[in-house]
Amino acid sequence: MQLDNATILCEEPKVIVYHDVFSKEECDEITSSNIPFERSKGYSYEKEDSTLTDYRTSFTYHDMKNDFRFITYRCLELAKSHFWFMSFDESHFEKIQFQRYDVGQEYQPHYDYFNHPGYKQISNDRIATMITYLNDDFEGGSTYFIKLALEVRPVKGSVLFFDYKYIHELNYQTEHAGLPVTNGQKTIATSWIRRLPFTGSN
């Protein structure tokens, strides 16, 4: 379904691409910043902590100083259009993470939420993901939803939104991967939204 500024790729679970959210100039300013990337980590359910893995091979920067808070504000306005029935504000967002993918780097199939049957449950799970595509001058690197057979090609300045606030069977449909970059370099900013205000420890 095509809206004024968005394309709904799936209704349930909801997968939406918002177009022209950030200008090319804004994206260029971000990617030209001296961002101190470090090797990305993945979440280990056994260790209940983040650790280096062989399935997430990108580089990451956590915006703990909120230097790029304007990304959160703009994503918040988009998210509120689909969470209008909730009391929802900036405090539900985790700190923005930037990811850089060089040639051959990827994020193999995974889920963004933590609560899975058979594992320890947390009270303040993630309910949605928003990925801002900061460039598109590369090959490969699409976001691919395995169960939905849905491939989202990054377009500079667009934002991919998908939520998983349902039952597990529907959440399971949001399994996705960052496909390997085959030429060039991909940079994104990822915003995760929590069910309750997030302090960094809950």
**Residues in contact with 61: Cβ distance below 8 Å, sequence separation at least 6, in sequence order:** 35, 36, 37, 38, 97, 98
Give strand ranges (E) for 111-200: 126-133, 139-140, 143-145, 150-152, 159-163, 176-178, 181-183, 186-194
Domain positions in the chain are 6-30+71-194
For the domain covering 6-30+71-194, report its CATH number: 2.60.120.620
The whole-chain average pLDDT of the chain stands at 92
Q: Higher-confidence residue: 138 or 202?
A: 138
Give the pTM.
0.94
* pLDDT at residue 201, as a whole number: 65
pLDDT band at 49 (very low <50, low <70, confident <90, very high): confident
* pLDDT at residue 121, as a whole number: 87
For 86-143, how does the pLDDT look when each residue is reduced to its tens digit (9 = 90+)?
777 899 999 999 999 999 999 999 999 999 988 888 899 999 999 999 999 999 999 9
For 1-13, how does the pLDDT look when each residue is reduced to its tens digit (9 = 90+)?
555 789 999 999 9
